[in-house]
Amino acid sequence: MSQLLLQNRKIVLGITGGIAAYKACELCRKLIKNGADVRVVMTEAACKFVTPHTFAALSHHEVMTDLFADAEGIDHIAITNDADLYVVAPASANTLAKFAAGIADNAVTTSVLASACPIVVAPAMNSRMLLNPATKDNLKTLQERGFYIIAPEEGDLACGDHGMGRMRNVDDIFSYICALLNEHIALPYEALPQNYLPSPKAPIAITQTKLLPKSHGAGIKIVITAGPTEENIDPARVITNKSSGKMGYALAQMAATMGADVTLISGPTDLATPNNVKRIDVTSASQMLDAVKSQIGQANIVIGCAAVADYRLIEPMQTKLKKEEHGEFLTLELVRNEDIISYVGHLDEDRPFTVGFAAESDHFEENAREKLQRKNLDLIVLNDISDPEIGFNSNDNAATVFGPKGIVSSFGKMSKIKLADLLMELILAEYKNSKHHEGLPTK
């Protein structure tokens, strides 16, 4: 029997008031099923949604609900002793505000304040509360202090509205926890706009050795392109594609987690900048090429994950196109953009280790091998975009990696963050075994 993912891990699960508290039951059960020793702490408001007896039965431990328990009760300091992780799910707007202000007035806020282990919060609230400047400031403050934020998702809310604010599903939260407690600080994709939750100004300090990130990317400089590009037709219209940027952002997060110095060159997306990643925003293919050229001199590895427009208008229109002026048919004259990853691949012998992506809908292996050779790449990652479950904008993906000698590795359907983890492991290993790497990086 394989080892459980969370074997011998002690996790404190804090639950605050909100309809999402019922999801904490499933999270508690899943953590325990995977080997964790779970201790539950609840606010008075949380107890109005799910009784403490439910969590006592699930965890086989007494549930802490009161700061002033009797002599046989649970101490709010002792409950976090030797804890590997403190997870607050759901975390209400009120609780986030108290965390940010250092208020300790209930079992959850007090035990969090007394905790020495990493703290993860999964917010859940109405969209207007989530987007309120006070809540945004509180989340930013917590992230800068080292809290891990599992961004909420869009969906139906308890108030009847539809929008951002629903607590992330249990599987995502569980994956996040496993990532943290298995020598990673790379976390599932955070679906918040860039301007909603900025990255910390400084790296988060982790004192527990078992939570230190992998370091085999240390000293390696990686440039990653991600997202779509846009080519103007007129001031209101563009030529673009369906790329979400999720795969490229996941690769950037994983590379940074492994200790690499990462620059992410991104087309237009709503994704938050991964922790400890330098980001350069561009719009068009020519802007992305210029950004790559500006960074390539210091790069050991370049990964072309962006879906770059193949063509642009020879001369974009300066005023909005009027259909009345063009009749039933419109002809646009296009010119080919320079292939960015091919440009990198055909640099001189000192070029970086170069990895491309091939998004294909048919003749998969044939097309991938042809692109690998024509663009002079070290590796190419083949994605099947004909499958809607792993195509553009999906949270899952599958990939086959080709090198000059054929298939290097193949990965079935999995989350993009997990695939990014495996791909970065592979890319770093291939780089270190290549002619591009001799001892320590010198660029």
Confidence band, pLDDT 50/70/90 cuts, at residue 156: low
pLDDT at 209: 24
pLDDT at 71: 44
CA–CA distance, 438 with 386 (Å, rounded to integer): 40
pLDDT band at residue 158 under the 50/70/90 scheme = low
At residue 59, the pLDDT reads 93
Is 28 known as a binding-site position?
Answer: no
210 is in an annotated binding site: no
Span 13-28, pLDDT tens digits: 999 998 899 999 999 9
Q: Which two tokens stand for residue 308?
A: 């770059």
- The share of the chain scoring above pLDDT 70, in percent, equals 85
pLDDT of residue 259: 86
The pLDDT value recorded for residue 162 is: 65
Active site residues: 159
What secondary structure does DSSP assign to 28-82, as a single string? HHHHHHTT-EEEEEE-HHHHTTS-HHHHHHHHSSPPB--TT--TTS--TTGGGTT
More confident residue, 213 or 19: 19
pLDDT number for residue 126: 85
191 pLDDT band, cuts 50/70/90, is very low
Structure confidence by residue, pLDDT tens digits, 300-355: 999 999 999 999 999 888 888 888 777 788 888 899 999 999 999 999 878 999 99
Residue pLDDT, tens place only, 374-421: 999 999 999 887 777 776 767 788 889 999 988 888 888 887 888 888
What the chain holds in terms of domains, given with CATH numbers, is: 10-210 (3.40.50.1950), 215-432 (3.40.50.10300)
Categorize the per-residue pLDDT at 442 as very low, low, confident or very high, splitting at 50, 70 and 90.
very low
Q: Is the dihedral of CA 406, 432, 184, 295 positive or negative?
A: negative
* pLDDT attached to residue 437: 62
Cα–Cα–Cα angle for 85, 88, 90, nearest 5°?
A: 150
Which of residues 153 and 98 earns the better pLDDT score?
Answer: 98
pLDDT, the chain, mean: 83
Query: Which range is least confidently modeled, 64-73, 118-127, 323-332, 434-443?
Result: 434-443
CA distance readout (Å), 270 to 255, 273, 324, 391: 20, 9, 34, 18
The pLDDT, as a whole number, for residue 211 is 31
Per-residue exposure over 234-243, b if at least 16 CB sit within 10 Å of its own CB, e if not: eeeebbbbeb
Query: Does the annotation flag 37 for ligand binding?
Result: no
- 416 labelled ligand-binding: no
Can you read off the two tokens belonging to residue 75? 């101490």
CA pair distance 301, 110, nearest whole angstrom: 46
CB atoms inside a 10 Å sphere around CB 206? 15
* Integer Cα distance of 390 and 388 in angstroms: 5
Q: Is the pLDDT of residue 186 over 80?
A: no
> Would you say 371 is a known binding-site residue?
yes
Q: Which residue has the higher pLDDT, 85 or 192?
A: 85
Distance CA 70, CA 91 (A): 27
State the pTM of this model. Answer: 0.56
| Residue found under tokens 């201790």 | 39
Instruction: Report the C-alpha gap between 42 and 14 in whole angstroms.
Output: 6
Is pLDDT above 90 for 180? no
**73-110, pLDDT tens digit by residue?**
556 677 888 888 999 999 999 999 999 999 999 999 99
Residue 357 among known ligand-binding residues: yes
How much is the pLDDT for 75?
65
Return the percentage of the chain with pLDDT > 90, whole number.
Answer: 46
Amino acid at 401: V
Q: Please check if 306 is assigned to a binding site.
A: yes
Of residues 199 and 286, which shows the higher confidence score? 286
* Confidence at residue 306, expressed as pLDDT on a 0 to 100 scale: 95
pLDDT in tens, 31-64: 999 899 999 999 999 999 999 999 999 999 999 9
pLDDT mean over 237-252:
90
Among 169, 167, 165, CA closest to 126: 165
